[in-house]
Amino acid sequence: MCSILGIFDFDGRPEGLRRQALEMSRLQRHRGPDWSGVYAGDRAILAHERLAIVDVESGAQPLHGSDPGNVLAVNGEIYNHRVLEDALAREYPFRTRSDCEVLLALYEQRPDEAATWLNEVNGIFAFALYDESRDRYLIARDPMGVMPLYTGRDREGRLFVASEMKALIGVCPEIRDFPPGHVLDSEVGEPVRYYTPAWREYDAVAGGASDPEPIREALEAAVERQLMSDVPYATLLSGGLDSSIIAALAMRYSRRRVETDGAEEAWWPRLHSFAIGLESSPDLAAARAAAAAIGTVHHEIIYTIQEGLDALPEVVRHLETFDVTTIRASTPMYLMARRIKAMGIKMVLSGEGADEIFGGYLYFHRAPDARAFHDETVRKLDQLYKYDCLRANKSMAAWGIEARVPFLDREFLDVAMSLDPGGKRPAEGRMEKDILRRAFDGILPDEILWRQKEQFSDGVGYGWIDSLRELAGREVSDRQLERAAVRFPTNPPLTKEAYLYRSIFEEHFPGEPAVRCVPEGPSIACSTPAAILWDPEFAANADPSGRAIKGVHDRSY
């Protein structure tokens, strides 16, 4: 996890802008506390705050290519960099062991084919690359938007690029999320989609495979790829299906270095796992059982409701959102990250993405047919960068930790999203994520493998959401909620809880630019607004908690 800050499209001496870039970059330093670097040219500036995970000794950025005028700043990890480097080594003299240097090599070999070679890259990334000789820049973001990236222009027309919005507030009158799976070439002028998998269309996958074995093989490969690290790492373990599978697979490879540098055993051989919850929460009990079966060195973090409530202002500031379900789930994750950091761990594996791919949220039980089911999974994946990816990334990055998400590995996605939607869809006698459960039969206890879906904000303890609602009821009056559209004309909050988060957000991010980057629309159990139409009861009971799905959740409201 790192941060990048770029300034482009300016003329003249960069001294004043260089100081401005350093100050803006400093606002993101929590993401990369290990080192700072800056490049300042006559037409571009790149600043970088580094969290050193791969090539700790020589991977400082910005990186320069074999042509020193090619400069790169990256927030990310390129999991298949060794394979790409082997193919490029004859033409490009690699000077570091950084996984990110391969992006420079790809650019120098095929400078006008970025939309092609980006599809050869398997990783999570947001980068800015500047070519002095052509006065050209490339800006790109990974296919699913695991890494955050924002752009904006100031009143002089200069383009600013940053990993977090907070660096752009007060500088850019307009701020935008850079779209996942896109690349902006300054010689083209607009972001262009480079990632267009066939599985997005229902007709391309209907009647496809329904065998669970390829799922198991592809996820095992993804986890092994993503254990690439030169520093201590761990796994998040809520005790739910997704995180338990990731932890079990990580355990298989944790004693062997992924990098082939001659070492047979990692210098951090014991795999640690972390769970958080209120006293006696469902997740803590389940995580304890999963950890015992998997064999991780397990750590339980018990927080109190008051500790969570006290953290809300900082959670909103770091997450840069007022979305209700995101804040509910991010608060315990933010508290857990601080404890993980205290143990010297800099990278964690997490289970985000499985519910979107396999239709794991409980509202998917109401999908009217296979096409509707598949289209909703695609919609969920398209918006994941505003929700779970944002939560996992920024909750951890607040304390200088990188979160990796093997379920969103692009090679795994191609396998999982090509399955027959009819076979993935929950139906009578078939649980949500049935095919994923069957794929990993035998590696987890049955009580974990077949545990009902609990959204993270529910699983940490049902009292957490209830207490947030009670707090909002005390802090926000009926009159304030009635006039919400007057105070917040853009995307006005619909509940007192949403009003509370929006008020905190406004303190840190005044004005309209940041508001437009936050998602809006009704949701039930984390659905998109489109899925509200699946059941007449959804509109009346819309709440992002999984407990809102009556007749499915064991402890429905």
* Structure tokens, 485: 């559209």
Q: In what order do the strands lie in the sheet with 402-404?
A: 297-302, 272-277, 233-236, 347-349, 402-404
418 contacts 205 by C-beta, under 8 angstroms:
yes
Report how far residue 209's alpha carbon sits from residue 207's, in angstroms, rounded to the nearest whole number: 7
62 contacts 48 by C-beta, under 8 angstroms:
yes
Q: In what order do the strands lie in the sheet with 35-40?
A: 35-40, 44-50, 3-8, 159-162, 150-153, 174-177
Report how far residue 167's alpha carbon sits from residue 374's, in angstroms, rounded to the nearest whole number: 37
Q: 348-382 burial string, b = 16+ CB within 10 Å, else e?
A: bbbbbbbbbbbbbbbbbbbbeebebbbbbbbbbbb
Q: Report, in angstroms and rounded to the nearest whole number, the Rg of the chain calculated over CA atoms.
A: 23
* Structure tokens, 294: 């998997």
Catalytic residue among 2, 100, 389, 526: 2
Report how far residue 347's alpha carbon sits from residue 401's, in angstroms, rounded to the nearest whole number: 5
**Angle made by CA atoms 408, 410, 412, in degrees to the nearest 5:** 75
Q: Three-state DSSP class for 236? A: strand
Active site residue 2: yes
Report how far residue 149's alpha carbon sits from residue 298's, in angstroms, rounded to the nearest whole number: 33
Write the secondary structure of 279-310 as one string of H (helix), E (strand) and C (coil). CCCHHHHHHHHHHHHHCCEEEEEECCHHHHHH
Write the secondary structure of 330-347 as one string of H (helix), E (strand) and C (coil). HHHHHHHHHHHHHCCCCE
**DSSP annotation of 545:** S
Which residues are catalytically annotated?
2
